[in-house]
Structure 1
Amino acid sequence: MSIERSIPELAAWYAQYDDESYRREAPDAYHHELVRTAEALRDDGAIEWDDWLALKALADDAHVLALQAAVQARVDDPDA
C-alpha cells in the first residue's frame, strides 16, 4: 500500500523517507523520525489510522533494509 505523495501534509514525510544518506548513516534515527512524523500527521488529523499503519510499515521495512545494508557493509569492509 502506498499513500498518495501529492498530499501536501505528506511531503515532509516522503522527503525523509527518500533520504537515502540519512537512512544509511543513521538507520535508527531515520526510523524514529519517520514514525514520529507519521504519528504527528495522524494526531493532527492529516491522515487516518490505516494511512498511519501504511507509513509505519514503509518505515519499518526501510529500517530493516538499512540495518541489513549496514551489517553487510561492515562484513565487506571491517576496517571502514
Structure 2
Amino acid sequence: MSIERSIPELEAWYAQYDDHSYRDASPDAYHQALIRTAEALRDDGAIDWDDWLALKGLADQAQLHALQDAVQAHVNDPDT
C-alpha cells in the first residue's frame, strides 16, 4: 500500500521522511519522530489504521537502511 504524498495532512510526515541528513545522523530519533507524527495523524482521524501501518512500515525500513549504512560506513572507515 502506498499513501498519496499530495494529501495535505501528510506533508509534515513526508517532509520528515525525506530528511536524509536527520535519518543518517540519528536513525533512532528519526524513526521515533516519524512514528509520533503518524500516530498524531491517526489519532486526529487524518489517516486510518491501515495507512498508519503503511507509514510505520516506511519508517521501519528507512531506519533499517540508515543503520545498515552506518555500520557499512564504520566498516569502511573505522576511524571516523
Verify same fold: TM over 0.5.
yes
- 3-state SS of the aligned residue for 2:14? helix
Equivalent residue number for residue 20 of structure 1: 20
Q: How many residues align?
A: 80
Question: Aligned residues: percent identity?
Answer: 77
Query: Can you give the 5+ residue segments of structure 1 that lack an aligned partner in the other structure?
Result: none
CA–CA separation in structure 1 for the residues paired with 2:63 and 2:46: 24
Counterpart of 1:5 in 2: which secondary structure? coil
Give me the TM-score of the superposition, normalised by structure 1: 0.98
Once the two structures are superposed, residues 47-77 of structure 1 have per-residue CA deviations (whole angstroms, 9 ceiling, x without a partner) of: 0000000000000000000000000001111
| Poorly superposed stretches of 4+, deviation over 3 Å | none
With the length of structure 2 as denominator, give the TM-score of the two structures.
0.98
1:54 match: 54
- The structural deviation recorded for 1:34 is 0.2
Distance 2:23 2:2 in 1: 19
